[in-house]
Structure 1
Amino acid sequence: MRFRHAEAIWSEHPRLAAGALHTTGVGPVADTGPRVAEYTARARARLDGALEGRFPEVLAWRRVFARMGLKPTQYRCASESLLRRLRKEGTLPRIHPVVDLCNAISAAYAVPVAVLDADRVTGPLLEVRHARGDEEYTAFGGATEHPAPGEVTYADSAGRAHARRWTHRQSGHSAVSERTGRILVVAEAVHDGGADTVAEVLETIARELTAHWRTTPATALLTATAREFAFADEPLSGTRAP
């Protein structure tokens, strides 16, 4: 299995910094609560000093969304949505130990972090690219949508879209669940210094996964000249079939 951003994405967004992580053995039983609380507290402390819409990391994504023809305050990147929820409600949603952990880290660093059930992605390629318009996206409520032609999405080899409007919303089809055994994590940033942020985010997530699940993640920092991440595509014994 390979993950990459299309050449056009790198050309249109030269400040893009990205990284990917793959690991196995990530089950639903792990006590990530204390670490989630620590990263959430870090995000909350930053919100005490400024609204999330003023963070450089968020402002950079807002500019990207505006260039894509999207209203930034209507379609927010995932990290901004998490920070906004944290500011308004005081907590982040609890979904699954690994998702909760990655959401808290995303909020702490203010950059989008996608966590996909790798066994729900059809290979050999998952690519961040412009949609043709015939890709199928499954909303969390179960409805089927089609990204608009030209919209940036995560598209697999079966023509399934695993995101809408790039970093705005993931698909319910590849959402992590209690039956997930293998994950692909992607972190993306477009602000000045984003490469350093993404590297730190990947290192942090890898360290936490190792501590809680005793797994050994594979990671890669992606660039316009080294934009592909290859990882094993065999499902674990006992994990669900697509």
Structure 2
Amino acid sequence: MKKFVTEDSFWELFPDAAIGVVVARGMKTADEVSDEDKAEIERLLVRANMMAERHLTSDTISENAPVKAWREAYRRFKTKKGARCSIENLLKRVLKGKPVGTITPAVDIYNTISLTYALPVGGEDIDTFQGDLRLTVTEGGDAFLPLGSDESEDPTLPGELCYLDDAGAVCRCWNWRDGVRTALRDDSRNAFLIIECVEPERIEQCVEAIDELAELVERYLGATIEAKQLLCGPVREVVIEP
């Protein structure tokens, strides 16, 4: 049995945070998604890029509320120089008039949710996990090969908050950058999808985002949703593979 566990070291930093988890199994591969559904997913992404503009009240990226919240969050743990929350990177593209484009159906769906709600959303291939997945403050030195890089491994830093399994880092600096080893691919069948919220007043929106994410993955990728859980308060783990 594999679990996703949010460890005490995370909650000590972020006692009021909420983590939304969707476990989707039996997804269609990219080749199996019909052209009609791919086109509809792309339309949803285009619409989400436009909806993201409502979260941008300033031409200075750091002055927008979702970005402010996450910049403050990133000050609470060790990060690589220049690391920023994933939602800041998406909103920055919208602000610059360079909308987030299509990648692969599963990624397009979670980017749609991220842009719509201005919350960080990510996804990993469950079948690549070694042991439990943990969100924790690391002692450093965990193996990591960044997605999109052919460079040598870039290990975690002491005091860094990241997602880890028994083989090393899965996503560094909480939600900054995924690794090659666990990233969703065109042929991935089973996905671990996650939404993070550090603003207590937005937890209801996080719940809405979880529900919509699960619905879209079920509708367009034909997945079975085996878990849909909000982790906060006393709820700190969820089974991701029986």
TM range (shorter): 0.7 to 0.9
Partners of 1:226 and 1:101 in 2: CA distance: 26
> Are residues 1:4 and 2:13 paired?
no
Counterpart in 2 of 1:203?
211
Q: CA deviation at 1:117?
A: 1.1
Deviation at 1:190? 0.6
RMSD of equivalent CA atoms? 1.9
Supply the distance in 2 between the matched residues of 1:71 and 1:22 (Cα, whole angstroms). Answer: 29
Which whole-Å CA distance do the structure 2 matches of 1:151 and 1:208 have between them?
A: 32
Q: 2:104 aligns with which of 96, 121, 133?
A: 96
Please name the residue that 1:18 is paired with.
Answer: 19
Query: Which residue of 216, 237, 240 maps to 1:231?
Result: 240
Deviation of 1:69 after TM superposition, in Å, equals: 4.9
How big is the shift at 1:45? 4.2
Q: Which runs of 5+ in 1 are unaligned?
A: 234-242
Secondary structure in 2 matching 1:220: strand
State the AA in 2 paired with 1:15: D
Which residue does the alignment assign to 1:129?
136
Match of 2:156 in 1: 147
Q: 1:168, CA displacement in angstroms?
A: 1.4
Distance 1:105 1:50 in 2: 22
After TM superposition, list the pairs within 5 Å mapping 1:68-79 onto structure 2: 68-70=77-79, 74-79=82-87
Q: Secondary structure at the residue paired with 1:10?
A: helix
Aligned to 1:62: 71
**Residue 240 (structure 1) aligns with:** none
Quote how far apart the aligned CAs of 1:70 are.
4.8
Question: For residues 183 and 71 of structure 1, do their structure 2 counterparts lie closer, same or farther at Cα, with a shift above 3 Å needed?
Answer: closer
Give the deviation of 1:13 after TM superposition: 1.0
Counterparts of 1:164 and 1:96 in 2: how far apart (Å)? 22
User: TM-score scaled by structure 1?
Assistant: 0.87
- TM-superposed CA distance for 1:39, in Å, is 1.6
Amino acid corresponding to residue 50 of structure 2 in structure 1: A
Q: Does the CA-based 8 Å contact 1:96-1:176 persist in structure 2?
A: no
1:157 deviates by: 2.1
Aligned to 1:220: 229
Amino acid at match of 1:131: T
Unpaired runs of 5+ residues, structure 2, are: none
Name the count of aligned residue pairs.
229
Aligned-partner Cα distance in 1 for 2:228–2:215? 11
Q: Which moved more, 1:9-18 or 1:224-233?
A: 224-233
Tell me which residue corresponds to 1:236: none
1:112 aligns with 2:120: yes
% same residue: 26
